[in-house]
Structure 1
Amino acid sequence: MADPTEKYLYHHCGETGNFSDTSAYATNLKQLLSLLSSNVTSRNGYRNNSVGLESDRVYGAIMCRGDIEIQLCKLCVDSAMPNLTRLCPWQKESLIWYEYCMLRYSNKMFFSVVQTSSPVPLLNAQNTSDPDGFYQVLEELMRSLTIAATRRYPGALFAADERKFSDNQIYGLVQCTGDLSSSDCSFCLGALVGQLSTCCKRPTGGSLILPSCYLKYDIRPFSESRTVALYSPPPPSLMNSTPPKGDSGKGEVGKTIKLILIPTALTIGVLLIGALCCFIHRQKFKRPKKQGAPVGTRFKSSTSHEFQNGPEVNCFSLTSILAATDCFSAVNKLGEGGFGPVYQGTLLDGLEIAVKRLSKNSGQGLEEFMNEVTVIAKLQHKNLVRLLGCCIQEEEKMLVYEYMPNKSLDKHLFDPSKRANLDWNLRYHIIEGIAQGILYLHKYSRLRIIHRDLKASNILLDDSMNPKISDFGMARIFGGNQTEANTGRAWELWKEGKALELMDESIRESHVPLEVLKCIQIGLLCIQEDPAARPTMSLIVSMFGNYSSTLPLPKHPGFFLRRPSITSKQSCSVNEVTITSTMPR
């Protein structure tokens, strides 16, 4: 196994302020580094956390290279940790890169924030004799790896592959920090690939480093494990190939004709189906005159993505949605919530989507609806479902989202066959992700969003079981409050010292008692009767990441089902629920 202590690459000390050895910041930093070191996992090679409150709060992250084993990751982190503080002894911000890992801390919140300014080039001394040819192959390799890292393997944000150049191979890898969305990762890596022409035409190996992503290449293999080939470029067109000698070429011509005719026929077929569905749909949902614009005037009819309100919002045609969902076939229906049914679909370019067909009771005009969608489309975070665009034609208003292959959390929690797959570590990971997403909506997004309908069915799971909050903009679009006043037995069991009885039996073997109790306690703190006593989302995220501080004891919840004790002169609601405030903090 390689020695990670010999693989130091680069470090940077920030300018966000200094701290003293006896300060609260120093104490929090020491605790944070200990937490990060003890939580080295192989999940996407990334982990972040924070410790402390307000101005003394420290944010930290570690990332290991996506192709190395967990043992080497642990060795690298343990080796880099003391150097992180030694090289920047009193600065409140520090970053260090090793060959196999990256460590970073700051007094500024940097989770899910893309940083693309001033990439650092670390280049080999050996140069190629054919810089133009080398750069052409290198750029092609890096662009294909960017696609692979952000599209072909959701959640990994890492890819490695190789390309033939002259008598050598060019080996390459790219990686983003695991808190980025796929689109942010693509943006970050794109910034690095754009720098290749100015720094990297001659050197036969090197790295370009940013706090949020990096790329590496060399003519010598450097992977610690088998190459992860997640993407391969399409084969050359047969139209441009020359048949072998002695071959009439008829076979190749036949193959070429098939390659052209079959996709063309399939495309035409899908378009015809979409047109037929659209005709039937129009007959079924005829609208009165003078209600909105006719089809084709405001929104184009096409099977591709359309941009009508600038680059912010993607407006899909009704034809493309009908074709993608097979005319809202029952087979493609994923579920139905308070805002309308949701359907799975696949666009002609292969992109899988989820279409929320909104009910007719929003009461909004076209312009108001589009303004809300434009605002929501700007909100992007690793733990939010990404809104791809919308469709407004006929009397339909639809929202188009990225498709989440593992469906919603409730389908795992309440299905006995799937419940066992959610061990405690994975559940805690999901809980933390949900908290990070809500914190973003409350504090760090471009506008403050209160969800109002947070529940297991609104938590979707991607390929890597990372949680993504959905329906976070519905309250803005519908102007309604979807809160539900449900009570379980949590408060009574907590008072009796039996809170662990709330635990799902399927995690009995994998659970960590202190973590389970902490989650229950935080949940009870969030529903206390006095709104002023409820913790903010910033404090909640800190509670999840802080393992040493003592949490306050929860008081009486605001939504609580009491045993009836009614006299003839008393009155109460039918379900005996007391509601102190219907608006969350």
Structure 2
Amino acid sequence: MKQRTLFSILCFVLISSGFASVSAQKCTEDKGTFIPNSTYELNRRLVLSSLPSNVTAQDGLYYSGSIGQEPNRVYAVGMCIPGSTSEDCSDCIRKASDEVLKNCPKQTEAYSWPGDPTLCYVRYSNTSFSGSADLDPQLLLYNTGDINSNLTEFTTIWEGLMARMIATASTAKSTPSSSDNHYTADAAALIPIRNIYALMQCTPDLSSRDCENCLRQSADDYQSCCGQRQGGVVMRPSCFLRWDLYTYSKAFDNITVASPPVTVP
């Protein structure tokens, strides 16, 4: 039985205007544990160690594989956002794999969405999760700074950006060979010198409806919790959402921001 959605809210110390780092993994506590030095642990290390090369061999789009025999079989997936270089993608997948090995020492399932300088995704489990729209366990992070302008106007702009991006990501062609991969990066202007930058991605094995539901739930959860904050991240096993007030990813290198609305006082 899936656990109830719980907010795991972590406050990050800020450096300048953003998170000190956005690199987090979630160990699924209710899916069981394995014995150290067991066959399952060996298979987990093998499948995760091969992920960087397997993902980059797929041009970073999406890789799904498994190692071992039941009941010690380990399923794993990995992907990077479209446009990632092979080097950035490989480094990101390796970092995510190392982190789940270190921080989830005995859990039979975990996932990670590292975000610097590109966004990637790693997940492993002792059961197949292909096509499963998993919303739990969730990890929600927020920037400790508050919006110091007109919050009502900011919220209107933020909600418009989220709605537009959810529609784009959920309707993108969702096949492992797609260059879209249920992904979008976009920005919206607040004032002439400040913009909102956002990234969204679902795993490409989700239907458009499941992707939309996952991202919409993440946006709603963030807004209910921390709508006055200057940035945030919501990670789930099947989707990712991040926004901030600075260009925290290479994904924004070619993003053109539309003319700003009326200046927020």
1:138 aligns with 2:158: yes
* Aligned residue type for 1:12: K
Question: For 2:107 and 2:137, how far apart are their aligned partners in 1?
Answer: 20
Q: 1:31 Cα deviation (Å)?
A: 2.2
Q: How far did residue 159 of structure 1 move?
A: 0.7
CA–CA distance in structure 2, aligned partners of residues 145 and 58 of structure 1? 33
Structure-to-structure mapping, 1:290-329, within 5 angstroms = none
- Give 1:210 shift: 0.9
1:59-78 mapped onto 2 (5 Å cutoff): 59-78=75-94
Give 1:8 shift: 4.9
The structure with the larger Rg is 1
Q: As a proportion of its length, which structure holds more helix? A: 1
CA deviation string 1:171-221 (max 9, x = no partner): 111111122222221121121122243123211112111111011111112
Q: In 2, distance between residues paired with 1:94 and 1:219?
A: 29
CA contact (8 A) 2:141 2:232 kept: yes
**Residue 109 (structure 2) aligned to one of 93, 111, 125:** 93
Secondary structure in 2 matching 1:203: coil
Does residue 1:25 correspond to 2:25, yes or no? no
Does the 8 Å contact 2:80/2:121 carry over to 1? yes
Partner of 1:500: none
Q: How does 1:132-281 map to 2 (within 5 A)?
A: 132-151=152-171, 155=178, 156=180, 157-167=182-192, 168-227=194-253
> 1:107 maps to which residue?
126
Name 1:349's counterpart in structure 2.
none
Q: In structure 2, how many angstroms separate the alpha carbons of the residues matched to 1:223 and 1:110? A: 28
In 1, the alpha carbon distance for the partners of 2:22 and 2:195 equals 25
- The CA deviation at 1:50 is 1.3
Which amino acid is 2:123 matched to? R
User: Do 2:136 and 2:237's aligned partners in 1 also have CA atoms closer than 8 Å?
Assistant: no
| Matched residue SS, 1:39 | helix
Q: Indicate the SS of the match to 1:25.
A: helix
Amino acid at match of 1:123: Y
How far apart are residue 166 of structure 1 and its match? Answer: 3.2
| Aligned-partner Cα distance in 2 for 1:135–1:63 | 32
Q: For residue 114 of structure 1, what is the amino acid of its counterpart? A: A
Q: Within 2, Cα distance between the matches of 1:226 and 1:198?
A: 27
1:7 deviates by 4.4
The answer to whether 1:84 aligns with 2:80 is: no
Alignment match, 1:259:
none
Q: In 1, distance between residues paired with 2:155 and 2:83?
A: 24
Alpha carbons 1:149, 1:175 under 8 Å: kept: yes
Contact 1:142 1:173 in 2 (8 A): no
Aligned residue type for 1:150 = S
Preserved CA contact (<8 Å) 2:22 2:114:
yes
For residue 227 of structure 1, report the CA deviation from its aligned partner.
4.9
Separation (CA, whole Å) in 1 of partners of 2:24 and 2:232 = 13
The residue aligned with 1:11 is 25
Change beyond 3 A, Cα 1:94–1:164 = same
Secondary structure of the corresponding residue to residue 61 of structure 1 = strand
The change in CA–CA distance for 1:43 and 1:112 in structure 2 (over 3 A counts) is: farther
Structure 1 residue 140: Cα displacement: 0.9
1:152: Cα distance to partner? 5.1
Aligned residue for 2:24, secondary structure, equals strand
Q: Is the 8 A contact 1:121 1:199 kept in 2?
A: no
Question: Once the two structures are superposed, what CA deviation does each residue of 1:422-452 show, in whole Å capped at 9, x if it has no partner?
Answer: xxxxxxxxxxxxxxxxxxxxxxxxxxxxxxx
Structure 2 CA distance for aligned equivalents of residues 143 and 198 of structure 1: 16
Distance 1:196 1:206 in 2: 7
Aligned with 1:121: secondary structure?
strand
Higher strand share: 2
* Unaligned 5+ runs, structure 1: 1-5, 233-585
Deviation at 1:75, TM superposition (A): 0.9
Q: Which amino acid in 1 is paired with 2:157?
A: V
Give 3-state SS (helix, strand or coil) of 1:160's partner. strand
Q: Is the 8 A contact 2:60 2:89 kept in 1?
A: no
Structure 2 unaligned spans of 5+: 1-19, 259-265
What is the 5 A alignment of 1:380-391? Answer: none
Structure 1 contact 11–96 (Cα < 8 Å) conserved: yes
- What per-residue deviation string (whole Å, max 9, x for no partner) do you get for residues 38-88 of structure 1? 212364633221122222111111232345322111111222322211111
Kindly provide the CA deviation profile for residues 482-501 of structure 1, in whole angstroms up to 9, marking residues without a partner as x. xxxxxxxxxxxxxxxxxxxx
Q: Is the 8 A contact 2:43 2:72 kept in 1?
A: yes
2:145 alignment partner, one of 122, 126, 144: 126
For residue 184 of structure 2, give the secondary structure of its aligned residue in structure 1.
strand
What does 1:327-406 correspond to in 2, within 5 Å? Answer: none
Question: TM-score normalised to the size of structure 1?
Answer: 0.36
**Relative to 1, partners in 2 of residues 1:140 and 1:47: Cα closer, same or farther, differing over 3 Å?**
same
Helix, strand or coil at the partner of 1:195: helix
Q: Check conservation: 1:135, 1:197, Cα contact below 8 A.
A: no
CA distance in 1, matches of 2:225, 2:151: 11
Percent identity at matched positions? 31
Aligned length: 226
Runs of 4+ with deviation above 6 angstroms: none
Match of 1:40 in 2: 55
Q: What secondary structure is seen at the aligned counterpart in 1 of 2:23?
A: strand
Amino acid at match of 1:38: S
